[in-house]
Amino acid sequence: MNIHVVKSGDTLWRISQMYGVTINQIIAVNGLADPNRLVLGEALFIPAPYQQYVVQKGDTLWTIAQLLGVSIQEIVDANQLSDPSKIYVGQVLTIPVLYHTVQAGESLWTIASRYGTTVQVIAQANHIQNAGVIRVGQRLRIPEAPKPEIEVNAYVTEIEQAGADIVAPLTSYFTYISPFSHSVGEDGSLAPLKDEDIIRTARERNTAPLLVVTNFVGSQFSAERAALILGTPEIQDKLINNILTQLKEKGYVGVNIDFEYINPGDRENYNNFLRKVVSRLHPQGYSVSTALAPKISAGQKGQLYEAHDYAAHGQIVDFVVIMTYEWGWIGGRPWAVAPINEVKKVLDYAVTEIPRNKIVMGAPLYGYDWKIPWVKGTFARIISPKEAVNIAAKYGAAINYDETYQSPFFHYTDEKGQQHEVWFEDARSMQVKYDTVKSYRLRGISYWVLGNAFPQNWPVQAANFTVKKYS
């Protein structure tokens, strides 16, 4: 796997020749709308030859297997396909095996480096006894290198069929899909959510839905609503009964509780509520998880942080999603959404309180476009990573990369003379996040939020991890 940063004079043909892949492969995995328009500083994900295949109209697993010289079962296993007869146009499949013909001057080490695998893996696959002896013209089977297995969650805010259409082509990348959200009423009721299409789509594709429960009132988190629930045992009992009803009737596998901006005085009430939820749900086979604010110390002040007890959640629930994003936010100054130096500060604290195998790191699938000079009280515009690159191309802006934050950004001036600053995610910034998940040995990663076009992220994830499927 390689990530290529576009330089002056680059063309897709030149890049494809440099890495030994086809132009169409680069176009497909990066979702390039105009192959003739590359942006200076743009990061392109370069797949290993035939490591990713984008399903085309009329494809079947049999035709793909024949085209790429692998077995149907190898494709099924590599992509954890529950129903081999169901693949979808636009779906990116990992192809775990390819073949390489040895050229003069090559060694197993240089070949392994090219394909991102190891000498041992190639030697074992080809029954080579002496790794130092290969011959020119020899055809070697190159298996995909083993990858760590993680859990992956993705929140989705679109509902009904629109939400299902967003989810459908991406389910192979997820353990869980979390429709957002069911808010809690004053009486412990759950607000209805038209999530049936999403749940059905997820289930058909071997992806587990999670019931997300929030203290939303209107469009905001409510400390008062949380205080009422957490301070009233009778309402809690009704709420848990309603959660169980939803889990059973809709086919959810567990609940993800996202109570935010809780009064600091309700910290222990929240912990006790979670203990009660676990005691009711675990015996019936359901998981319990929570979403936590990104803290850097136990005593961190602020209403977003104080009632989120890392140590208690780490002991009580099955796993936590830490919302490691929104440093750069819609109402704040221009900044990276998830600067990796700040993310690591949170993780450095989190691993002292929560078992690593219970931590799911949050990652954004979006960016922001700010008007500058920034004025307090103004708001940025949410943009997708793909839209960010398109904006840079439209205005002839070069994309820069901040090495401290490990995040791309650029400036441009629009038709009205207004200056802008844009921060977003790309293949480089996501690779750093995946490396962080590996280095901290975390349970997995959680995306906020599906619906923002970011085609290159999915093959980057696939190149790094195997997704654990719920069983």
Question: Would residue 91 count as lying in a domain?
Answer: no
Question: Would residue 54 count as lying in a domain?
Answer: no
Q: Do 251 and 275 share a structural domain?
A: yes
Q: Do 153 and 135 share a structural domain?
A: no
- Among positive and negative, which fits the CA dihedral 330, 182, 291, 208? negative
Q: Do 167 and 125 share a structural domain?
A: no
Q: Do 357 and 321 share a structural domain?
A: yes
Q: Do 265 and 175 share a structural domain?
A: yes
Q: Do 251 and 184 share a structural domain?
A: yes
Q: Of the candidates 85, 119, 143, which is a domain's last residue?
A: 143
Q: Does the bond joining 459 to the residue before it have cis omega, within 30 degrees of 0?
A: no
CATH number, domain with residue 253: 3.20.20.80
Question: Would residue 56 count as lying in a domain?
Answer: no
Q: Domain tally for the chain?
A: 2
Question: Would residue 395 count as lying in a domain?
Answer: yes
Domain that includes residue 134, residue range = 98-143
Question: Would residue 133 count as lying in a domain?
Answer: yes
Q: Do 184 and 322 share a structural domain?
A: yes
Question: Would residue 461 count as lying in a domain?
Answer: yes
Q: Do 186 and 115 share a structural domain?
A: no
Q: Do 134 and 233 share a structural domain?
A: no
Q: Do 232 and 335 share a structural domain?
A: yes
pLDDT in tens, the chain (471 residues): 789 999 999 999 999 998 878 888 899 889 998 888 999 999 999 987 666 788 889 999 999 988 877 889 888 887 878 788 888 888 888 887 778 889 999 999 999 988 878 899 899 989 999 999 999 999 898 887 779 999 999 999 999 999 999 999 999 999 999 999 999 999 999 999 999 999 999 999 999 999 999 999 999 999 999 999 999 999 999 999 999 999 999 999 999 999 999 999 999 999 999 999 999 999 999 999 999 999 999 999 999 999 999 999 999 999 999 999 999 999 999 999 999 999 999 999 999 999 999 999 999 999 999 999 999 999 999 999 999 999 999 999 999 999 999 999 999 999 999 999 999 999 999 999 999 999 999 999 999 999 999 999 999 999 899 999 986
260 is catalytic: yes
Identified catalytic residue from 260, 306, 387, 421: 260
Question: Would residue 309 count as lying in a domain?
Answer: yes
- For the entire predicted model, the pTM comes to 0.88
CATH number, domain with residue 119: 3.10.350.10
Q: Of the candidates 85, 114, 143, which is a domain's last residue?
A: 143
